[in-house]
């Protein structure tokens, strides 16, 4: 369960990125965090993982991310959009990551790398962008934490890989796990996400289940709903 109440954040005083955001995200679902570039999606994920410290009340599970408690950090894995790349292969990366996460699953890593067809003996810096993404996503899924936050994970992936990504993520979800995926490419998450949060102008434009959105807007085509909501909002302003 992720709960935010008036979550506010500004990188520079006076320029608020997130303004009093209130969200309820029950466990057991895949959430699509949608919105235009620079709207604050990555910032929200960083706040929820404790990398940034925001104002207001927010809890991930029953923990306040700002306290950066070890138990909390072991329950969260953040996949940043631009993760720094290192001169090591994914096997060595897993070797140094494994001791930090008690839930780390070697089986999951093996399976994800095999599905993605990522070579295990090639250094990350020598991989293509898509291969790098697949390797890092595999590693993060292998951490097997109850909360997984991914920021634009499908950037650079080819179409078959995006399909494998959806399959792997869908296979991980259970009632105790929450996966939040930020993207501006809605198509990548179709069939995967069951809840959608659309961000616009420092706030939340819509946050609901796909089912509820379908009832409310007469379609489950998120792209259509997104365009409609954004254009309505722009007209109102």
Point out which residues bind another protein (CB under 8 A).
Answer: 9-11, 46, 49-53, 55, 66, 68-70, 73-74, 76-78, 80, 82-84, 86-88, 92, 96-97, 99-101
Residues pairing with 115 in the sheet? none
Q: Which is nearer to another protein, 4 or 73 (CB)?
A: 73
Query: What is the smallest separation between the CB atom of 5 and another protein, expressed in angstroms?
Result: 14
Q: 214 near 181, Cβ under 8 Å?
A: no
Query: What is the smallest separation between the CB atom of 157 and another protein, expressed in angstroms?
Result: 20
Query: What is the smallest separation between the CB atom of 126 and another protein, expressed in angstroms?
Result: 15
Q: Which is nearer to another protein, 88 or 230 (CB)?
A: 88
Q: 196 near 31, Cβ under 8 Å?
A: yes
Pairing of strands 76-79, 147-151: parallel
Name the one residue in this structure whose structure tokens are 């897993």.
Answer: 94
Structure tokens at 13: 């005083």
- SS3 of 202-213: the string is CEEEEEEEHHHH
Q: Which is nearer to another protein, 37 or 82 (CB)?
A: 82
Which residue, among 37, 16, 25, 84, has the nearest Cα to 183 in the 3D structure?
A: 37
Q: Which is nearer to another protein, 15 or 237 (CB)?
A: 15
Q: 132 near 138, Cβ under 8 Å?
A: no
Query: What is the smallest separation between the CB atom of 206 and another protein, expressed in angstroms?
Result: 27
Residues pairing with 30 in the sheet? 179
Residues pairing with 182 in the sheet? 33, 151
Query: What is the smallest separation between the CB atom of 56 and another protein, expressed in angstroms?
Result: 11
Q: Which is nearer to another protein, 98 or 177 (CB)?
A: 98
Q: Which is nearer to another protein, 153 or 206 (CB)?
A: 153
Query: What is the smallest separation between the CB atom of 215 and another protein, expressed in angstroms?
Result: 37
Name the one residue in this structure whose structure tokens are 């950066």.
Answer: 68
């Amino acid at each position: 369960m992720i709960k935010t109440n008036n979550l506010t954040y500004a990188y520079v005083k006076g320029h608020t990125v997130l303004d009093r955001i209130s969200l309820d995200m029950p466990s057991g679902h895949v959430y699509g965090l949608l919105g235009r570039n620079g709207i604050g999606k990555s910032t929200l994920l960083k706040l929820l993982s404790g990398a940034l410290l925001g104002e207001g009340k927010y809890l991930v599970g029953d923990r306040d991310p700002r306290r950066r408690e070890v138990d909390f950090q072991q329950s969260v894995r953040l996949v940043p959009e631009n993760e720094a790349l290192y001169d090591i292969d994914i096997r060595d990366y897993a070797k140094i990551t494994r001791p930090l996460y008690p839930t780390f699953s070697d089986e999951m890593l093996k399976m994800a790398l095999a599905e993605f067809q990522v070579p295990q003996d090639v250094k990350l810096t020598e991989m293509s962008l898509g291969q790098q993404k697949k390797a890092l996503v595999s590693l993060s899924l292998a951490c097997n934490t109850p909360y997984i936050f991914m920021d634009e994970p499908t950037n650079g992936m080819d179409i078959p890989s995006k399909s494998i990504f959806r399959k792997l993520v869908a296979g991980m979800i259970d009632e105790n796990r929450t996966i939040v995926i930020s993207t501006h490419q809605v198509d990548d998450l179709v069939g995967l996400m069951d809840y959608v949060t659309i961000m616009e102008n420092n706030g939340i434009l819509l946050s609901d289940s796909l089912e509820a959105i379908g009832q409310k807007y007469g379609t489950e085509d998120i792209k259509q709903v997104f365009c409609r909501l954004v254009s309505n909002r722009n007209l109102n302003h």
